[in-house]
Structure 1
Amino acid sequence: MIGEFELIARVTQGLEVNSDVELSVGDDAAVVSLQGDTVVCTDILIENVHFKQQWSPAHAVGRKSVAVNVSDLEAMGCRPSAIVVALAFPKDLDPKWVDDFEAGVRAECRTAGVSLIGGDMSSSEHIVACVTAIGDTMGRAPVTRNGAQPGDIVAVRGNLGLSAAGLIALQRGFGSPKDAVLEHQTPHVPYGQGRVAAEAGATAMIDISDGLLADLGHISEGSGVSIDVVTGQLSIPDPVARVAAATGKPALGMILAGGEDHALAATFPSGTTLPEGWVRVGAVSAGTGITVDGAPYEGSMGWDHFG
């Protein structure tokens, strides 16, 4: 097995950083110069909980570890800047897995426009990747979950249901529909759209990680409002329909409660011209809780690690 410091040197060689970074890898800590308030989030991927090696190649795990974190920054309407990555893995893990993971991290950093500025490595029984992401508000107030008002409209940007369909396919030993499987392995976060929504006047926003209904439920609770989702305004992607037809799983359930979409959901004042690509899916009213087509939803609302 390759030594720790040699491995660190390999995975940090030739890192590219953006203009925010004053000091990167090689010291006890990195130094980043940001504008406005600093926004920080963290997310963890654990082998056999969030991914399986037989389902997700290392490169995809690396990309996903970045994507799920930067998506949270997008949901605050802020500008993502940098990440640090902590990776733990078994001592007998093939070093190529680590190389491929790090290549995936770098690839997603380029896509998201963030810099990898440090991290840590250790040994563990299973692979664990923990990323902390840093961004800034650029002088604007962050968009929280708590600002939705009665009369607002609800809109989403990104892919709903594909990740859930991909997971169902993988659980049954299939590698298709490819679009769904790839979306589960490496979600396509709508980078930059959090800031677009903020500039358009979003009153509340959230990253859809646990499922559309579950995450809109957080906005409902935080804002003290009721949210109704109109299913007629939701489109069913072809891969979702195909998985539903093959397995008997309801397509609408994947879209409403599948989770790991890493799309964005936001509320906007009534009359707002939605930014390009945002789709209206519901409305906010006085009251509490989530309804679907005006009635309580009978199925699962979404993912809960401890539920």
Structure 2
Amino acid sequence: MDERAALGLLDRELDPVGDDAAVVDGRVLTTDMLHETTDFPDGTTRYTAGWRAVGASLSDVAAMGAAATAAVAVYAAPSFDDAELLDFVRGARDVCDRVGASYVGGDLDEHDEFTVATTALGRVTDCGPVRRSGARPGDLVCVTGTLGRSAAAIRCFERGDHERANELFRFEPRVAAGRALAPDATAMMDSSDGLARSLHQLAAASDCGFAIEADRVPIDDALTAVVANGRASEGRESATEAALEPALTFGEDFELVCTIPEARIDDARESAPVALSVLGRVVESGVTVDGEALADEGYGHGESR
């Protein structure tokens, strides 16, 4: 049983499940687990690991349109190195500071593989939590920021450019954007599994479909650059065209994918503290890009990068 099958099993057993975080007494609560083998490529610093692990949980808070308040982390490793442990905590604390939350501790454990489990807590705003189930035909489907940053980071790790790779891996959780979009968004989630899979997940939750246009997908310049570098001797396809597939499916970008009524899009763009791209529209059924079916492909936890 893979992760998606396991989630399907739990969906039938537990109620409610399916959003980026649970809502409990006006708070949102979420937890994540990351492993060295699958989530932290060779060359990832402990500072980046702390930032990225805690940031992943803060991103779930952002996807609910909530204000982030606090985070904790479990740090497990074969042994405890002073410098590595302090770097991890500093990364965790700095990403919390970036979004106005507090890093309030956690736990230590010995384990045969560097593993991190994180939990983040948020506060529901007056607009209430934004769930995945509110998209309606006619709404516009949008995404914050750019896509492909993590895909570019992985290629930099593979090429030995660890400084640039670590920089790209330290994403900013879109907590401020989530709060700004909450009054206008009808549905929202983060893009940790990739845009294509996120659209399929939103479609299932809202019982709808999506029609997007490829030339509206905001591809990160870093991905275009590394793709262009890798294709320099081929010359058959533009770097932007080649970067589209990883931008759609690689995942781990932690941007927000949301739906907004067309009449509210100007207000949403004005309030959002980051670029908001309109990709297309919510339709009755199907998930397509330029009229062709967009496969449900993306990141699966447990898959080695």
Q: Judging by fraction of residues, say which structure has more helix.
A: 2
Which of the numbers 77, 90, 107 marks the counterpart of 1:103? 90
Q: Which amino acid aligns with 1:275?
A: R
**Alpha-carbon offset, residue 64 of structure 1:** 0.8
Aligned pairs for 1:254-269 (under 5 A) are 254-269=246-261
Question: Secondary structure of the equivalent of 1:86?
Answer: strand
Q: Does 2:57 match 1:69?
A: yes
Contact 2:145 2:255 in 1 (8 A): yes
Aligned pairs for 1:80-119 (under 5 A) are 80-91=68-79, 93-119=80-106
Aligned pairs for 1:248-287 (under 5 A) are 248=231, 250-272=242-264, 273=266, 274-276=268-270, 277-287=275-285
Structure 2: runs of 5+ lacking an equivalent: 1-23, 232-238
Taking structure 1 as reference, are residues 123 and 253 closer, same or farther at Cα in structure 2, changes over 3 Å only? Answer: same
Contact 1:163 1:259 in 2 (8 A): yes
Summarize deviations over 1:274-305 as a string: whole Å, max 9, x none.
Answer: 32421111110112x3211111136x721123
CA–CA separation in structure 1 for the residues paired with 2:246 and 2:166: 14
Summarize deviations over 1:3-61 as a string: whole Å, max 9, x none.
Answer: xxxxxxxxxxxxxxxxxxxxxxxxxxxxxxxx961110011121111003x32111111
Contact 1:36 1:136 in 2 (8 A): no
Aligned residue-pair number: 266
**Alpha-carbon offset, residue 214 of structure 1:** 0.6
RMSD: 2.2
Which of the numbers 145, 149, 152 marks the counterpart of 2:132? 145
After TM superposition, the score normalised by the length of structure 2 is: 0.81
- Identity, in percent, stands at 33
Residue 287 of structure 2 is matched in structure 1 by 290
Is the radius of gyration larger for structure 1 or structure 2?
Answer: 1
Taking structure 1 as reference, are residues 131 and 103 closer, same or farther at Cα in structure 2, changes over 3 Å only? Answer: same
Q: Which amino acid aligns with 2:198?
A: D
Residue 180 of structure 2 is matched in structure 1 by 196
Structure 1: runs of 5+ lacking an equivalent: 1-34
**Alpha-carbon offset, residue 252 of structure 1:** 0.2
Q: Which amino acid aligns with 2:176?
A: G
Which of the numbers 29, 36, 45 marks the counterpart of 1:40? 29
**Alpha-carbon offset, residue 260 of structure 1:** 0.6
**Alpha-carbon offset, residue 115 of structure 1:** 1.2
CA–CA separation in structure 2 for the residues paired with 1:68 and 1:305: 13
Q: Does 2:151 match 1:164?
A: yes
Residue 113 of structure 2 is matched in structure 1 by 126
Summarize deviations over 1:55-77 as a string: whole Å, max 9, x none.
Answer: 21111111111211111101001
CA–CA separation in structure 2 for the residues paired with 1:73 and 1:259: 18
Summarize deviations over 1:58-115 as a string: whole Å, max 9, x none.
Answer: 1111111121111110100111111121111112x42210011011111111112111
Which of the numbers 167, 186, 190 marks the counterpart of 1:182? 167
